[in-house]
Amino acid sequence: MYAAGFEARSFRLRRVTVPVLPSGMRPLRVLQVSDIHMVSGQRKKQRWLRSLAGLRPDFVINTGDNLSDAEGIPEVLDALGPLMEFPGAYVFGSNDYYGPRFRNPARYLWERRRAATA
């Protein structure tokens, strides 16, 4: 319930400073986008993703799992469109290869119990 009710609507931008460049060099701003899990109709998520271009990153890395529904393909492409003006790279996630399938949450308990008794 938490994942579907809250986390799916809670978008986060985290800033991390990694001091690896020589002193005096201009900071390099890298934006990583991951685990979008877009489904059709997620307008708030689309607006938020489009707004990330306003950060003016030097490089964008998309680490996949952009989709949770094939119907969301045009919408995720539109939402990520403004980020295409920046250099970047893309890595597929499992949800980008295979459509998600419903799994009974109780299955995790059964598998754990079976492993404990084996």
Domain ranges of the chain: 2-16+27-117
Taking only the tens place, the pLDDT of each residue in 47-97 is 999 999 999 999 999 999 999 888 999 999 999 999 999 999 999 998 888
- Could you give the CA distance from residue 47 to residue 57 in angstroms, rounded to a whole number? 18
99 compared with 22, residue with greater pLDDT: 22
| The architecture CATH gives domain 2-16+27-117 | 4-Layer Sandwich (3.60)
The 3-class SS string of the chain reads CHHHHCHHHCCCCCCCCCCCCCCCCCCCCEEEECCCCECCCCHHHHHHHHHHHHHCCCEEEECCCCECCHHHHHHHHHHHHHHHHCCEEECCCHHHHCCCCCCCCHHHHHHHHHHHHC
Provide the pLDDT confidence category of residue 2 given band limits of 50, 70 and 90: very low
pLDDT of residue 13: 92
* pLDDT over threshold 60, residue 4: no
